[in-house]
Amino acid sequence: MDITLMHYLCLSMALFAVGVFGVLMARKSLIHILMSLELMLLGVNLTFVSFSRFHGEVTGQVFSLFILTVAAAEAAIGLAILVVYFREKRTIQITDMVSLGEKVE
């Protein structure tokens, strides 16, 4: 069986979808969300690279390098915010993020 563009696209969309659901469905730790965010970006990267191969030119591959770089910066900032958040609240449970929101009286 030949591996075509469609297979790569399905794989990358699956990665992206796993990332989105990971963000939406995470119930335990904020770390899960940060990991899912990375997964979404990886899905995008794979899309770019496979389209780049499909078109036979390099723009997409260069773009995926840019995404990798920015994803690293994003992860750094996300973890830094996580650290300051933990210092203040002493927890990273998602269910504890309730100090903002509608107050039921």
Partner 1 sequence: MLDNFLMDLKLVQSELVLLGGGLILLLMTLFPKRSKEFFPLFSVGIILMAFAVLFIPSGSWNSVDGMQGFFASLEASPLSQSFRGYFLALAAFVLLVGGSITIEKEKTAPEGYSLILFSITGGALLLSANDFFVAFVALEMMSLSLYAYVAFWSDGANAKEAAMKYFITGAVSSSFFLMGVAFIYGLTGACQFDEIANLMKLESETFLSSPLWYLGIGFLLAGLGFKMALAPFHLWVPDVYQGASTQSLLLIGVLPKLATLGFSILLLKGPFSLVYEELGVAITFLAVLSMGWGALGALTQRNFRRLMGYSAVANMGFVAIGLLPGDEISLASMNYLLIYSIGFVAVIGLVAYLQNQGLSLETVDDFVYVRQVPEAYRLLLALLMFSLAGVPPLAGFFGKFVVFKHALQHGYTFAVFAGIFVSVVSAAYYLRIIKALYFDALPEGTEGLVAETPLRQSFLVYRLSNLASVGLAAITILFAFVLSFL
Which residues in this chain contact partner 1 in the complex, by CB under 8 A? Answer: 16, 19-20, 23, 30, 33, 37, 40-41, 43-44, 47-48, 51-52, 54-55, 57, 59-60, 62-63, 66-67, 70, 73-74, 77-78, 80-82, 84-85, 88-89, 97, 99-103
Residue whose CB is less far from partner 1, 1 or 100: 100
Residue whose CB is less far from partner 1, 3 or 100: 100
**Phi and psi dihedrals of 29, rounded to 5?**
-115, 150
Continuous H helices in 56-105: 59-89
Burial class (CB in 10 A: 0-12, 13-18, 19+), 19: buried
Rounded Cα–Cα distance for residues 104 and 39 (Å): 36
Residue whose CB is less far from partner 1, 1 or 104: 104
